[in-house]
Structure 1
């Protein structure tokens, strides 16, 4: 499972565009999008992380690997703001 945070995903149209871009890269991919958390999870047997990221970027969005996004914001694991222990 590959997870991205896509902070510039703001509406249903964005969800559709990202899903379509991923499916063009791998028709059989399972795509789960949570608009509220701006998270896209992809299970692909064909495409790797770089290919999927490139597809989302070509659709006009800015995907960041979910673990990298949490580290960049100072968050770890399930912590919401880095202050919780």
Structure 2
């Protein structure tokens, strides 16, 4: 499972865009978004690098700082 901190994901619409981008890498991935915490959890066999790349292309780059616990 991957945990991404996505600072630009601030609302439900953003979460839908993030989910759609992630599904373009793995349509069967289990994706949980939490816009209030700006966190995305992804359960998939695809690589973290693939998800990071597609999020960046979609305008939602991943913050490399760990998400607040």
TM-score by length of 2: 0.89
Residue 58 of structure 2 aligns with which residue? 59
8 Å contact kept, 2:11–2:36: no
The residue matched to 1:3 in structure 2 has which SS?
strand
For the pair shown, the structure with the greater C-alpha radius of gyration is 1
Residue 11 of structure 1 aligns with which residue? 11
Q: How many residues are aligned here?
A: 69
How big is the alpha-carbon RMSD for the aligned residues of Structure 1 and Structure 2?
A: 1.7
User: How far apart, in 2, do the equivalents of 1:18 and 1:27 lie?
Assistant: 13
The residue matched to 1:4 in structure 2 has which SS?
strand
Q: Deviations over 1:16-64 (max 9, x none)?
A: 000000001101100001111100010012x100000011111111212
User: How far apart, in 1, do the equivalents of 2:21 and 2:61 lie?
Assistant: 13
User: How far apart, in 2, do the equivalents of 1:39 and 1:54 lie?
Assistant: 16
Q: Which has the higher contact order (CA 8 A, sep 6+)?
A: 2
User: How far apart, in 1, do the equivalents of 2:66 and 2:26 lie?
Assistant: 26
Extract structure 1 runs of 4+ deviating beyond 6 A: none
